[in-house]
Amino acid sequence: MQTLTLTRPDDWHLHLRDGAAMADVLPYTARQFARAIVMPNLKPPVTTSALAAAYRERILAALPSGLRFEPLMTLYLTDNTSADEIRRAKASGLVHGVKLYPAGATTNSDAGVTQLARCARALDAMQEVDLPLLVHGEVTHAHVDVFDRERAFIDEVLLPARRDFPALRVVFEHITTQEAAEYVAGADGRIAATITAHHLLYNRNRLFMTADGRTGMRPHWYCLPVLKRERHRQALLGAACGKLGRAERFFLGTDSAPHPKGEKESACGCAGCFTAASAVELYAMAFEEAGALDRLEAFASFNGPDFYGLPRNGERVTLERRDWTLPAELKFGDTVLVPLSAGEVLPWKLVT
């Protein structure tokens, strides 16, 4: 197969940042995707509909002319989010989900939720108005091994929350484990999951070695939830390609999360992989490895809008089989960022 034509995809989990840095990364996403769910973990976080509306205007103002792109906004859930704020968010028509960051779980999550029980009024209102909860699914207790934090979250947080708020619709964001994939495939239809390209392509060895097997710390592969063992990567590929059943519950969310080069290549490096400049191509590589390129369109373009209750896109995009090398660096405000897999050759290129 030399070309691949798909309905234009959407990105159901994206970090755009703000200001000049946002203006630099936004065109990469807008060139590939019609819409994206924009994460609210700015500093300070996007906690109200008014802040979300203002952020949306800044994104639209930064969009280069000729590119069409619709930012789908989210609110950042805190212990203090009120039921009224949730109702305002729904009524705005601009906010499509409310993001749960357990306090301290990841980049810019200091204002996150300390105990989900404190959010009962907000969660009640969300199930009443049908505004989905988007979860960063990791517990943060110091005694839980970093590689086990997602699995622990299912039992400790997700199951009780789904029992207490049975009508709440949930997106389990950027799942990384077999346990999460199996849970979503086996649960009721009010839960779905996003999967990143990097969790489909790489296991945790990649954090500690190059593609050709030389050892060394690889900070650009560090994200949260962290890459897991090969068995988990295989389970995620299986879920995305329909091997677990219920393929419609799994969809594309890049979790593209740009950071300045110096903050990644550091003694205490930030979590986050920048994939927006090569997102659809990386997913095509993963689906091709699984022998399931025919499954890519549903994952990238149908399952997300169907879950969010939005129309599927009308336009189409084409990928060509053509080797190209990912750039070493890209401009990022007054600094630069290093894309994931910089310098590596990808076999597919988006041409329209």
Q: Please give the residue ranges that form the binding site for Zn ion (CB under 5 A).
A: 255
No. of helices (H) and no. of strands (E), the chain: 13, 13
150 lies in the binding site for ligand NCD (CB under 6 A): no
Number of alpha carbons in the 13 Å side-chain half-sphere of residue 142: 0
The residues near 268 (Cβ < 8 Å, ≥ 6 apart) are: none
DSSP bridge partners of 331? 336
Is 223 a binder of ligand NCD (CB under 6 A)? yes
CA distance 352 to 350: 6
257 binds ligand NCD (CB under 6 A): yes
Q: Which of 255, 294, 306, 323 is catalytic?
A: 255
Best CA proximity match to 226, nearest among 113, 341, 135, 105: 105
Cβ at position 321, least distance to ligand NCD in Å: 30
Distance of closest approach, residue 271 Cβ to ligand NCD, in angstroms: 3
Q: For residue 332, give every residue at least 6 positions away whose Cβ sits within 8 Å of its Cβ, in sequence order, or none.
A: 21, 24, 25, 258, 260, 261
Residues numbered 27-86 forming contacts with ligand NCD, rule: CB under 6 A: 41
CB of 14 to Zn ion, least distance (A): 8
- The span from the CA of 27 to the CA of 62, in Å, is 9
Residue 71 contact among ligand NCD, Zn ion, none, beta carbon within 5 to 8 Å by kind: none
**To the nearest whole angstrom, how small is the minimum distance from the Cβ of residue 101 to ligand NCD?**
7
Q: Among 272, 304, 305, 339, which residue interacts with ligand NCD (rule: CB under 6 A)?
A: 272
The site for ligand NCD, by CB under 6 A, has a size of 12
**Residue 11 bears catalytic tag:** no
Residue 338 binding ligand NCD, by CB under 6 A: no
**Partners of 269 in the beta sheet?**
none
Catalytic residue positions, numbered:
255
Residue numbers of the site for ligand NCD (CB under 6 A)? 15, 41, 106-108, 136, 223-224, 255, 257, 271-272
